[in-house]
Structure 1
């Protein structure tokens, strides 16, 4: 935005602050409005985008002491009788201030005084428009204009090209949390300390080991009025002594004796919810045989897994004489049974 446009721009009104507002009040107003009208909060709204730019332009000027001083001077001039159009006769206008200057530059107005101006250093040798205005706004005579060196700081000098700082969301803070399998399955609300401050973290039911939970507004502070970042919590599910999780199923290793595996049996298996489920082990089961109990695995509003009982045949570490005798009889009863018949062939595949 050029400084000539400042005549028609009421930046105080844009930010909704008094003309005597201090920097703190201006910044507070800017942050509030920037959050409200930020394009990310109003996707596809061109009116909001325009409003956001106006807010940024206003803040860029009013937050800078020098720019604000020039802006106030220009606005005072616009509201106090100085003008850019000359009438024939009548009270002296803006042109009258410079009626005695001439040169090879541009000119203001129509009838009456035809005020011409140029930048110093241009052909004609007259005082430049920048030089004229610098005398009114605190500049020293004899300095060079924006066309050739250091500016005087007149309200029409070229100002630094800087837009309003864009609000930015704060960074993410990361933390770790270990929970039990039961907490992972049922969900829980736990409190952790981050930077010395206690923060409640809601663990959703069914969360898996390694998944992350985000807690909004507990990250690093935002910049230029932007929102605070988030807290990201990496969840570790501690191993359970009985159950392991495979997808949405809970797996339990089910120890059975040799006789139970051969003859079959029914075993009450504990479930994660504190109850039991009757599991029928079919006769002739081997280690690794799986028996499913429907709906007793991971259960949430979205998924329902099973409890899987995985057979594991166990024998005594020190079998007594009777067991040894029976084992010999069983071996004789097995006859030519070769449970490893395909092992060597399969190994060559």
Structure 2
């Protein structure tokens, strides 16, 4: 029997985090669940396969064993747990049930108070120079965000008072509703799932537990960041209502255009014009490196337009790693637009001494052209 890679079954990359794996599993399990596919045997087999994959990948120890040895880790008692086509356990089905009926449930314990909703994540776009991306930097940003109300310490209740248990749900945050043969739980319509009622709200935040404020934050940018690199500041997003955890702030980096260099990963590119005499005779040219050090580039004699010269280790640093990329110098031969009488005389003398071997491509082209015209 062919063993399909667990990551491939769930449609995840091997470096996917637990949240991504769980989300992918829920989508696949909902798609192939027997109750939704009318008992299709093929779908049922697929459902068991993705459930088996999730049972392994959601467990850090099992996942590590699978990453090292693949399916062999769970054969002949090597790893235990999932493998060998075992039916999914209760944990897999409860994950599906939670995803379908999550908005009605008050928690896995049944009847417990609902958790307050976490604050929203926020996004901040920052532009930095290519030089800053090379060296890294520490900078400060100012953001407008909802923060914890200091007057009530985030409770939403007027100082000196406290929230009271909701009389509708008894503090559970959820009420049970009969729907046909089923009894489901829904968020309490009175307290909206909080389980508490604020009879005397804080005048500063009007019972929300949070107020708009301006914060100054320090952002540490590591060397080697690229366009679109994301930096997460945990807990610096929007504050949750009535003491709930705050969301995160995500910094998205954008690299400003550089006057000399363009970037491709860790490789830098520079287009440099050189005179036709330097291209013909060769020579050394100098250009400033991204690190401020002067780079000497040796141009060989007979260099043709568009030639590339690679300078090892003169590019961008590897993000959170060691070493640097390369610098690729693209040489563009510039022809003179104006000639003095002396220069013209020298070039005329050079033309009189040409044998055709100096420029074999043009000589060969004209030879083929004469042959094609029957000359």
- TM-score range relative to shorter protein: 0.3 to 0.5
The structure number with the bigger radius of gyration is 1
Q: Which one has the bigger strand percentage? A: 2
TM-score for both structures, normalised by structure 2: 0.44
